[in-house]
Amino acid sequence: MAELISESQAVRKMTSFPAQKFGLWKKGIVREGMDADLVIFDPDTITDRSTFQEPHQYPAGLPYVMLNGQVVVDQDRYTGRLAGRVVKKQG
């Protein structure tokens, strides 16, 4: 199957591009002083497990997720941490 867009283009379209578009200057890129929101994913195994019958399923292929510097998914397991917060447009 032909690749529609490159992996790097897909990551940009889900991270820095929307963050900049919405004025979220501390989001979307990895740099000192930015919010530490990171996702480690395996491009060979990432998949959505949810269905119409069971919509609340965790995806596969995301072994680690950090929100605001806190690990919320560790070795494919949700840690129970509620590290998210309301995001407001920054001046």
Look at residue 3 in the predicted model and tell me its pLDDT: 75
| Global pTM value | 0.77
Q: How far is CA 76 from the centre of its chain?
A: 14
- Taking the chain (91 residues) in runs of 10, the rounded mean pLDDT of each run is 83 92 90 90 92 93 92 94 82 63
Look at residue 51 in the predicted model and tell me its pLDDT: 95
* DSSP E strand boundaries for the chain: 38-40, 64-67, 70-74, 77-78
> To 10 degrees, the CA torsion angle through 69, 73, 75, 77?
150
| Count of CB atoms situated within 10 Å of the CB of 67 | 18
Ranges of each domain in the chain: 7-78
Look at residue 86 in the predicted model and tell me its pLDDT: 84
State the Cα–Cα distance between residues 12 and 79, nearest whole angstrom: 27
